[in-house]
Amino acid sequence: MPKATFYNLKEEKRQILIDAAKQEFSRVSLYEASISNILKTAGIPRGSFYQYFEDKEDAFFYLLNEHAKERHECLVSNLKKFEGDLFKAISEIFRSTLEHSEDKGQRDFIRNVLLNMNYKIENTFSQYLSEDVANERYDDIYDLVNAEQLNVSNRKEMFHVMQILTAVTFHNLIQSVSNNLSVSAAMKKYETELKLLQSGLMRSSS
């Protein structure tokens, strides 16, 4: 995460640095990104970069963490909007992420993130769904979900439901980006999978 000096910057200068980093990570993946390009765009000397971040990975994961926070806030908002309906809330998150990715300022950044997904990137997104007892953000979600709509009997099972939905959501986001699916086509595929999860995958024996 950024050093204290980054947060001490004037907001305007901090935003210039953020925008420059995002521009570079939108152009290429993290591993191809150049600190020199970030510095050139931001108009700051090389030494200054290391006053604010440890390295380019530090800057990248700061941006990603901010995006993950925003998605978390959207999920909380959607759970309130849909009265705890987890499937409706997460479906709306999927739709808004797709629509967000069509915005020129976000599209390439999100695309590079999704197409270069690894454990650390996925963990940054899913950290707010951690079962850790100290994770207040997970508590926010847990408390808002209408558990009566779900076939779960305790917090542990709810955690696994969230893990399954997160995996399905990531898979569909990556597929939609890699195959250049339209929002409507991606939503149709995603909602089909959600409906299968909602109804269960096994027929009743009765």
Q: Tell me the pLDDT of the chain (206 aa) as tens digits.
A: 899 999 999 999 999 999 999 999 999 999 999 999 999 999 998 788 999 999 999 999 999 999 888 888 999 999 999 999 999 999 999 999 888 776 666 778 888 888 888 888 887 877 655 555 445 667 788 889 998 999 988 888 888 898 899 899 989 999 998 898 999 999 999 999 999 999 887 776 65
For residue 85, what pLDDT is reported?
96
Q: What pLDDT, on a 0 to 100 scale, did the predictor assign at position 134?
A: 44
Query: Shortest CA distance to 117 belongs to which of 195, 79, 53, 170?
Result: 170
> Is residue 84 a contact partner of residue 146, using CB atoms and an 8 Å limit?
yes
| pLDDT computed for residue 99 by the predictor | 86
Cβ neighbours, 10 Å, residue 162 = 21
The SS3 of residue 64 is: helix
Distance of alpha carbon 8 from the chain centroid: 26
Q: Can you give the residue range of the structural domain that contains 54?
A: 4-199
Alpha-carbon distance of 108 to 102, in angstroms, equals 9
Does residue 106 lie within any of the structural domains? yes
206 within a domain of the structure (yes/no): no
Residue 60, Cα to own-chain centre: how many angstroms? 13
**Is residue 109, in this structure, part of any structural domain at all?**
yes
Looking at residue 133, what is its pLDDT?
Answer: 44
| CATH number of the structural domain spanning residue 107 | 1.10.357.10
Answer whether residue 205 is part of any domain. Answer: no
Contacts of 193 (CB under 8 A, 6+ apart): 168, 172
Predicted TM-score (pTM) of this structure: 0.83
Determine the 3-state secondary structure of 82 from DSSP: coil
Angle at 31 (CA atoms; ends 4, 25), nearest 5 degrees:
65
Q: Dump the DSSP string for 102-150.
A: HSHHHHHHHHHHHHT--HHHHHHHHGGG---TT-HHHHHHHHHS-GGGS
Structural domain count of the chain: 1
CA distance 91 to 27: 28
Q: Is 149 contained in some domain?
A: yes
Q: What is the pLDDT of residue 155?
A: 84
What are the tens digits of pLDDT across the range 46-86?
788 999 999 999 999 999 999 888 888 999 999 999 999 99
Kindly state whether residue 135 falls inside one of the protein's structural domains: yes
- Does some domain include residue 140? yes
Average pLDDT, rounded, for the chain? 88
CA 173 to CA 179: how far, in whole Å? 10
Residue 76 lies in a domain: yes
